[in-house]
Amino acid sequence: MKRESDFHTFTWEQRKLGSAYEITMGQSPNSNNYTKNPNDFILVQGNADIKNGRVVPRMWTKQITKLANPGDIILSVRAPVGDVGITNYTVVLGRGVASISGDDFIYQTLIKMKTFGFWRKFSTGSTFESINSKDIKNAVILVPIANERRNIGTIFKSVDATIALHQRNQKGLQNRGPPIKTINLYTFLYQTR
């Protein structure tokens, strides 16, 4: 017979994103300060600066407006709204992005929010969709206790790494010769009868 103490219960709280995590909205530096000099500060302006979930430097600036630190999550607030990446650098935030000082759990939560169209209900603009500070800070999320949050984040980070490894391996195999024919399990089972 199981005792109540044999069961682990984890409590998840419904919280506003802005009360659970520190959010910094971007502010564009003066365009006269933009450079191509890698010795200046990396400027992140939008989703063009995010590739495969990471910030990729392509523009620099001499002017510091708002900063994000290494490990911070970058969220695109202009078309396309909701793209996310993690920065490995101290970066200047342009007005097309916001940073969230968070963990792997909130990173995965933000990916889920983008995937399921969460930001569409807030998006405004006829030419380019966008969201504002209030939309981000007031977004309601479910947050587990810190230990559970770390465990969930670690699991998803491991899954992401495994997926990335398999994608690189598949791409490497395809570059070696004739295309590899892929087949799904359903097709295999029913075509071999």
Task: Give the pLDDT confidence score for residue 60 in this predicted structure.
Answer: 98
CA–CA gap between residue 190 and residue 171 (Å, rounded): 28
CA–CA gap between residue 47 and residue 78 (Å, rounded): 8
Q: Name the percent of the chain lying above pLDDT 90.
A: 64
Residue in 21, 88, 94 with CA at minimum distance from that of residue 60: 94
Task: Give the pLDDT confidence score for residue 157 in this predicted structure.
Answer: 86
For the segment 97-111, the average pLDDT, to the nearest whole number, is 95
DSSP string, 46-101: SGGGEETTEE----EES--SSEE-TT-EEEE-BSSTT-EEE-SS-EEE-TTEEEEE
DSSP 127: S
Which of residues 123 and 107 earns the better pLDDT score?
A: 107
Residue in 42, 84, 90 with CA at minimum distance from that of residue 68: 90
Confidence of residue 102 (pLDDT cuts 50, 70, 90): very high
Task: Give the pLDDT confidence score for residue 186 in this predicted structure.
Answer: 46
Q: What are phi and psi of 156, to 5 degrees?
A: -70, -35
Whether residue 2 has pLDDT greater than 60? no
Confidence of residue 187 (pLDDT cuts 50, 70, 90): very low
Task: Give the pLDDT confidence score for residue 15 in this predicted structure.
Answer: 96
Task: Give the pLDDT confidence score for residue 160 in this predicted structure.
Answer: 83
Whether residue 122 has pLDDT greater than 80? yes
Which of residues 91 and 129 earns the better pLDDT score?
A: 91
Q: Which residues contact 34 (CB under 8 A, 6 or more apart)?
A: 43, 59, 60, 61
Task: Give the pLDDT confidence score for residue 176 in this predicted structure.
Answer: 67
CA–CA gap between residue 47 and residue 154 (Å, rounded): 25
CA–CA gap between residue 156 and residue 150 (Å, rounded): 10
